[in-house]
Structure 1
Amino acid sequence: MARPGGWGRRSRPAERRAERSERRVYRVGEVAGAIRDTLGGRFRDFWVEGELSQVTEARSGHVWFQLSDEREMASLKGVVFSGDRGAVKARLADGVRVRVRAALDFYVGRGETQLVVKTMLPAGEGDLAARFEAIRQKLAADGLLDEARKRPLPRAPRVVGVVTSSTSAALRDIIRVSHERAPVRLVVADCRTQGPEAPRSIVVALQAIQRLPEVEVIILGRGGGSAEDLWAFNDEAVCRAVAAARVPVVCGVGHESDYVLAEMVADARASTPSNAAERVVPDAAALAEEVRGWRRRLEAAMNARVDRSRIALERLDRRLGDPRAVYQAEHRRLDALTRRAQRHLRGDLDERRRSLETLRRRLERRNPRAALRADAERLRVLQDRLRRAMAKELERARRDHGRTAEALPRAIERNLAERREAQATLRERLRGLGRPMIQRSRARLGALAGRLDALSPLRVLGRGYAIAFGPEGQALKRADQVREGDPIRVRLHEGTIEALVTPPIENHE
């Protein structure tokens, strides 16, 4: 039952969906990008067949069209970019039924889905398209379609090899264009370019023309025709022979709208045989003009170099000036240096002369002969002074000796008398003190001698006792200090005897 105000009660599933929608709201760009990624990942490379309509070619070379299904109301928009026009083998017109190899792309800006065409063939050529794609994939898997392996063409070849039918219009176009552009030698290897024998014939011709060492580049060409007519240039053996060529190969088969696998493998692709000749043979006039341009640039560079050198030379000339003025200036400078040198030499010579004179005078003063004469004179003066001093001292000593000789006997006699008197006094005192001292000393010595005699072991031996000494010289006090058979020495009062120990006897107290 509806509530007032038009609000109704939501069911629980509806509430859950509302909660989920409130949790994540996508932007339009996110949805469009997801569609583009999904379609691009699933429909990246596929074949589709339909009828062309609304075919429109832009100024840029892109072709827009609509591909419709004849059985039901369904259509897809498509585009052929200008760079892929060579892969279109069908006529681009309304009502033409075609088989398209494309990728599906979603254009985010307008929200439209379109086919990006890689290859377009008439609808009746479906088997050839499948074979074409199978061979292309094998060549791509072996790396023969890589741009990195393709070699540059020689700038100005002198010998060009041509592999085509000797009776074809393509050969006449190649010869005409080549001779119009530059004088070049063409070597033709005849081969079949159509039919079942054509692939093997092309391979043999390619191998044969490479045996000529002077060939620098090869043109592989054929005029226009249907897909069946040009199929020999899609043969796998032909493509591998082109890839294995010793020199670069330029492939020009059919018209600009024709596209064969040999062109993908070749080092360069030409839209027609005439265009192949234009790519291989340089334009002599253009080369001459290029050489003239290089010559003009070289002359300009040389003139600029000469101008710079001339300017540098003029600057050096201005810095150097007139050689005569330079010579005169250097001559004046040399004269000034000469005068300065002479002044310095004269001053140095005078200084050396003065030094020599000073040394001569010093040498004269230190002459050994002069020094000897001066020393002799000083010695003579000193000798005179010494003789006079010695004479005076001798006279004074004589006077002192006379006085001493007179007083000396009296002093000696007086000293001797004094000493005799002192000696007599000392003798008397010594006699008075010496006798009592000697008597006391003799009495004390007698007492000590008596005590020593009483304690002497010899005194004990004199009473009949003896002292026994063991083998090691120790005095024996007990019988157990020796053993039977030990030698002993016995000291008596007078003399010593040797004995041996006999079996012990019992001790008696």
Structure 2
Amino acid sequence: MTRPEPVSVRELNAYIKSLIDSDGYLGSVAVRGELSNYKVYPSGHHYFTLKDAESSVRCVMFRSAASKLRFRPESGMGVIVYGRVSVYPRDGAYQLYCEAILPEGSGALQLAYEQLREKLAKEGLFDREHKKPIPRYPERIAVVTSSAGAAVHDIIRVLRRRWPLAKVILLPVRVQGEEAPPEIAAAIRWASEHRIADTLITGRGGGSIEDLWAFNDERVARAIYDCEIPVISAVGHEPDVTIADFVADLRAATPSNAAELAAPDVNELLQAIDSARSRLDRAVLKKVGAGRESLDALASRRVLVSATGFIEQRRLRLDALKTRLEGTLGFVERLKSRLEAASARLNGAADASLAARKNEYVRLAAKLDALSPLKVLSRGYAIALDAEGRAVKDARGVAVGERLTVKLNSGALGCRVEESYGEQ
């Protein structure tokens, strides 16, 4: 009998790996089981065992895939794991390389929402004693939302109508997608650090739980909690309640309602001034009239004729008081005129400011395009991106089996790392 040619252990493992990797069924599987020995390492990779009553399989989820998890996996949790089966050549053991994990039963998003709400509630982020009062007469109002959505237009429209004295500062961010949470959190923290406003509104229009998910992100919640500026949340419509709503100092049902809660109505204030002036006029006239009647009655009494000088002195004091009160009424009238004039000026200034900001955004967009690293691609270079869209700079930061996107000047390539020449 002819004996086969000997091969190295590495060659044997590589051959077995090639057989498994070429199997169409094993290239994309969904496996139901219970999580066991679930561990997250400093590298960001997740390692665990998936088991049922009779068997178990080792599993790994690389950092890039784990960053997309919408809930916190825990040992003992029933899940469905999606991924591929392959062999780790170093020890010859086969394992399941996970691309996604979904909980059985309730949806992943709902579970993540409940987990984060319970966690932050225990830490006290929702407690009423941490809520800051909303300023009654704000001079500057910051708005953290999309510059292209309906929410910002609703907020600006209501503020112009109700309180044109306030300057509106727009901090444009994405409000949907993976990049939205860090952008929203960074904008809120920047506004707080620089104290750019008296009140801050953040939110977006309504949508599905997926559309609103950025406002259920822990980074956004902690940025709102840490913000030195009072925050009004304005996410979605009345039925929608996000984590941001629980943390904010005040929750508004809609973006328009947030603007109403952020500022008073200047017309109502002017009416209140008119009403107060009328009441003051009546009170002054009544008081002066009563005083004069009392003095006249005293002066007419013969027994007090000798007190004429005293009475005249008191009459003069009343006249002086009347003059001072009339001066106060004049000041109130001048203040009313100033408010009306300022309202007209600010309406015009707001239109000019929005136009200037639009031109500035166009200029900055052109500048960013000129400096874009993607221009380099036209000269034959390529950029390797991990699953989070970050440029790969060091082979040691990429694990064998991890998926990469290689971006070319025209199009892109999806690749999987088979070997790494950096340090293991």
TM-score, normalised to structure 2, is 0.45
When normalised by structure 1's length, the TM-score is 0.38
Point out the structure with max Rg over C-alpha: 1
Kindly indicate whether structure 1 or structure 2 has the higher relative contact order, using CA contacts under 8 Å at least 6 residues apart: 2
Larger helix share, 1 or 2: 1
